[in-house]
């Protein structure tokens, strides 16, 4: 079973994301900080990540850069889900390699659709 890692310092947001994706046939892992996210990807295989930017210990952009810099994790789809809706943040995140950028408040259906598409294409990405 594929695992989605949800990274947000807010337990409420993590629960909302899980509820939004509840119809997908996946398991969930959670991290409440950027450092926890890095530890999590080091010990388990993840199929996708939902990542907040603003966290107390490590900015989400630094987590994204770490993920993209490692061969093992480089192809993992990362959906940045943030309250930052400014053009500069969006541009920086997409340049750093985010697969998608969504702002809070978010549409549960839109988030589920994006991740469903990424997970359906996971085998294609792995074969490359």
The pLDDT tens digits for 73-85 are 889 999 999 999 9
Q: Which CATH class is domain 3-122?
A: alpha beta
Determine the pLDDT at residue 125: 44
Average confidence (pLDDT) over 41-54: 95
CA distance 74 to 61: 14
The pLDDT tens digits for 98-121 are 999 999 999 999 999 999 999 888
pTM of the model: 0.92
């Amino acid at each position: 079973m594929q695992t989605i890692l949800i990274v947000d310092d807010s337990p409420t947001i993590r629960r909302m994301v899980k509820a939004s994706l509840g119809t997908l046939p996946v398991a969930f892992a959670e991290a409440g900080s950027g450092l926890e996210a890095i530890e999590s990807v080091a010990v388990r295989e993840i199929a996708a990540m939902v990542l907040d930017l603003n966290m107390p210990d490590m900015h989400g952009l630094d987590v994204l850069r770490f993920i993209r810099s490692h061969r093992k994790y480089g192809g993992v789809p990362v959906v940045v889900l943030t309250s930052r809706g400014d053009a500069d943040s969006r541009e920086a995140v997409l340049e750093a390699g985010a697969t998608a950028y969504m702002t809070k408040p978010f549409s549960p259906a839109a988030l589920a659709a994006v991740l469903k598409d990424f997970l359906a294409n996971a085998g294609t990405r792995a074969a490359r």
